[in-house]
Chain A
Amino acid sequence: MSDTLLARTPRPDRHPRWRISPATGLAIGVVLAAAAFGLRQLTAGADFTLPNAIQDLLTLSYSVLIESIGFVVLGILLSVMVQIWIPASWIVRVLPRNVVLRRAALSLLGVFLPVCECGNVPLARGLIVKGFSVPESMTFLVAAPILNPITIITTHQVFGFDDGILVARLLGGFAIANLIGWLFSRHPEPDRLLTDTFYAQCAAPDAARDHDHSASRWTQSRQLFAREASAVMPALIIGATIAGLVQVVIPRETLVALGSNPLWSVLALMALAFVISICSNIDAFFILPFVGIFMPGAIAAFLIFGPIIDIKMLAMMRTTLTTRTLIQLTTIVALMSLAIGLVMNYVG
């Protein structure tokens, strides 16, 4: 386990229900891929029309999926590289010993661990298991989805430096992460922030949570790719579908009415971010059509709040942190995002 940050929950080993040899698996995979291409070719010319609204919902959802699949695959591959191939000791060695500087450094760790929020939850769990304090790991968890190269590149690609949205996102993410880290470090017993199950796991000896030590890194990489894909893909597809649905169902006049109000525009986009649970690597593409309709502070609040708190992230973080902790975390992040959005709208 020495070369990975990833933690696994201990549980009695059980054998897989069925086994497939590598050759059979590859053959099945190639046949299924060929079948997918064949099916696509066969149905492409079908004379089949759906009602306009449903057709547009699908077209819009597919476009988000196709636009983001590249970034998602890249994110998973980088996550695999970081978790399997880069020694944890490299990260631990370079961090300052002073707690404030240490948290500041941890909040910038995402620059070197460029995965979106889904990949950060297992990484943050790994950091706790490795002996980092809970507030330190939370600092990383909150900052990393925003302060990472892919998110910065896509946000810049969409907004450039217009309206200070990119700068607000980066500085806001950094400030909130360090505020969270500081606030929770005041907790008399930070370990109580953890769920009982995860606390027990952290207390377990290394061997109990180290289940793949016998597999080669190549095998572990492929297993991790599969696991990360299963965590990310359903959330991505649901996010893309809801993004399409919002576009098809809500008339532009409604959005314009909401978006031109300094307060309601911020609240509406924070609520949207919470519901759609879209990945931070591609959320800038999602929000692009709302630019010009919603005030810049609302866009910035969407881009700051969404990567940290949404339905998908709360479900994932609940594996590690107690409900009480998550309520406190959500409240602080929401208030900070709202404040940043309002300042931008009223002062900017």
Chain B
Amino acid sequence: MSGSATRWQGLVLIAAVSASTLWLWMSGQLGLYVAPRHEAFVTIMAAIGLVASLLSAVAPAAHDHSAAAPRWNRLLAGTATGISAVVATTMLVLPPATLTSATATLRAINSTSQSSASAADVASAATSSTDAFSINDWASILRQTSDLAFYSDRNVTTIGFITADPEDPENMFYVSRFVITHCAIDAQAIGLPIYLENWGSTFEADQWIDVTGEFGTNRSRDSSQAIALLPDDITGIDQPTEPYLYA
């Protein structure tokens, strides 16, 4: 790679990533990628990065004294630059998006607990004590008990996106959410199993829904889940402005 190309590539890449980051912050969508507690640092440093890139672009070119690199090294550097340029460009061109049900499936829904809700505490309280439970709380309770008596007369209302159940994709799906600790790469999928025969004829994967119902015996033959949410009502909704939950 020539010296002038080397001189510009880093500045252009920092400027592109910084500009994209600043735009996400301005449009209120930075939360699609990083947790709110990191937003201030990320935004300030992206602004500094953009200004520093512009100021460095104005500096007179330094003489190129670098030793000639071996051919494989130049090839590697050229490939890296090409891929970097493509990724940076897509960052500026493609619409911002959330993670999808594909990642929820790969990460195994409810493989980790993200709530401190305790079944022992809830069992001794009135059934109305769980009215305000979030999807996160319910997912945690599901990991703790499959005793049907525990769930009777407890209404569940929650929103989330649809992820097909891997064991019985025709009759079961999860109403699911991602919980983010630092950034989207650490997203953990949580969800509640829902039994609805032939759900694919009415809804589709990744669709956002508002669901109301009660937990009961799971009628699916293929699923290993003992209980499932039996929906009274499911309504399609728009994706919320904050699609992730934050740990």
B3 x A237 contact (CB < 8 A): no
Whether B4 contacts A16 by the Cβ 8 Å rule is yes
Q: Mark B91-105, 1 if CB is under 8 A from A, else 0.
A: 111111111111100
- Inter-subunit contact A243/B67 (CB<8 Å): no
Instruction: List residues of chain A with CB within 8 A of the CB of B97.
Output: 55, 58-59
The answer to whether A243 touches B185, judged by C-beta atoms less than 8 angstroms apart, is: yes
Q: Does A158 contact B (CB under 8 A)?
A: yes
Stretch at the interface among A178-186, A226-234, A294-302, A334-342: A226-234
A32 CB, nearest partner CB in chain B, Å: 7
A288 surroundings in chain B (CB, below 8 A): 181-182, 185-186
- Contact string, A258-292, partner B, CB cutoff 8 A, digits 1/0? 00000000000000000000000000011011001
Q: List A contacts of B103 (CB < 8 A).
A: 52, 56, 60, 247-248
Report the bound CA distance from A26 to B56 in whole Å: 9
Compute how far the CA of A44 lies from the CA of B7 in the bound complex, rounded to whole angstroms: 30
Q: How far is the CB of B78 from chain A (nearest CB, A)?
A: 10
Complex Cα–Cα for A288 and B24 (A): 24
Query: A62 — which chain B residues lie within 8 A by C-beta?
Result: 20, 33, 91, 184
Give the distance to chain A from B206, nearest Cβ to Cβ, in Å. 7
Which residues in chain B, 181-236, are within 8 Å of chain A measured between CB atoms?
181-188, 206
Interface residues on B, range: 35 or more
A162 within 8 A of B: no
Looking at the complex, which one of B23, B45, B58 makes contact with A29 (CB distance below 8 Å)? B58
Instruction: Pick from B49, B56, B184: contact of A222, CB below 8 A.
Output: B56
Docked-complex contact B186 and A289, CB < 8 angstroms: yes
Which residue of chain B has the shortest Cβ distance to A219 in the bound complex? B59
Q: Which residues of B contact A53 (CB under 8 A)?
A: 102
Q: Are B42 and A70 in contact (CB under 8 A)?
A: yes
Interface size on A, residues (CB 8 A): 94
Contact A229/B185 with A16-B3, A69-B42 known, Cβ cut-off 8 Å: no
**Chain A residues with CB below 8 A from B99, complex form:** 56, 59-60
Q: Which residues of A contact B27 (CB under 8 A)?
A: 44
> Contacting chain A: which of B9-17, B133-141, B143-151?
B9-17
Q: Report yes or no: B50 in contact with A33, Cβ–Cβ below 8 A.
A: yes
Binds A, one of B79-87, B119-127, B169-177: B79-87
Does chain B have a CB within 8 A of A1?
A: no
- State whether the Cβ of B129 lies closer than 8 Å to any Cβ in chain A: no
Let me know if A97 is at the binding interface, CB within 8 A.
no
> CA–CA, A87 to B92, complex, Å?
40
| A130 close to B (CB within 8 Å) | no
Cβ distance B83 to chain A, nearest Cβ, rounded Å: 6
CB distance from A250 to the nearest CB of B (A): 8
CB interface residues, A 8-31, toward B, < 8 Å: 8-11, 13-14, 16-19, 22, 25-26, 28-30
- A30's partner among B44, B54, B112 (CB-CB below 8 A) is B54
User: Which chain A residue has the least Cβ–Cβ distance from B100?
Assistant: A52
What is the CA–CA distance of A16 and B54 in the complex, to the nearest angstrom?
A: 19
Interface hit among A34-42, A103-111, A139-147: A34-42
Most buried by B among A29, A157, A212: A29
For the complex, is A318 an interface residue (Cβ under 8 Å from B)?
Answer: yes
Q: Determine if B159 is an interface residue (Cβ-Cβ < 8 Å).
A: no
CA gap between A73 and B7 in the complex, in Å:
16
Residue B2 lies at the interface, judged by CB distance under 8 Å to chain A: yes
Interface presence of A192 (CB below 8 A): no
Check A40 against B19 for contact (C-beta < 8 Å): yes
Residues of B within 8 A of A25 (CB): 57-58
A selection of 30 A-B contacts at a CB cut-off of 8 Å is A8-B65, A19-B61, A22-B58, A29-B57, A33-B54, A36-B20, A36-B92, A37-B23, A39-B93, A44-B27, A46-B95, A52-B102, A52-B206, A56-B99, A58-B97, A65-B17, A66-B21, A67-B42, A70-B49, A72-B14, A73-B46, A73-B48, A211-B63, A223-B56, A223-B59, A226-B62, A230-B8, A233-B14, A233-B17, A252-B107
Closest 4 CB pairs of A and B: A229-B10, A70-B45, A230-B10, A222-B59
Question: Which of A's residues lie within 8 Å of B, judged by CB?
Answer: 8-11, 13-14, 16-19, 22, 25-26, 28-30, 32-33, 36-37, 39-41, 43-46, 48, 50, 52-53, 55-56, 58-67, 69-74, 76-77, 157-158, 197-198, 201, 209, 211-212, 215, 219-220, 222-223, 225-235, 237-238, 240-241, 243-244, 247-248, 251-253, 285-286, 288-289, 292, 315, 318-319
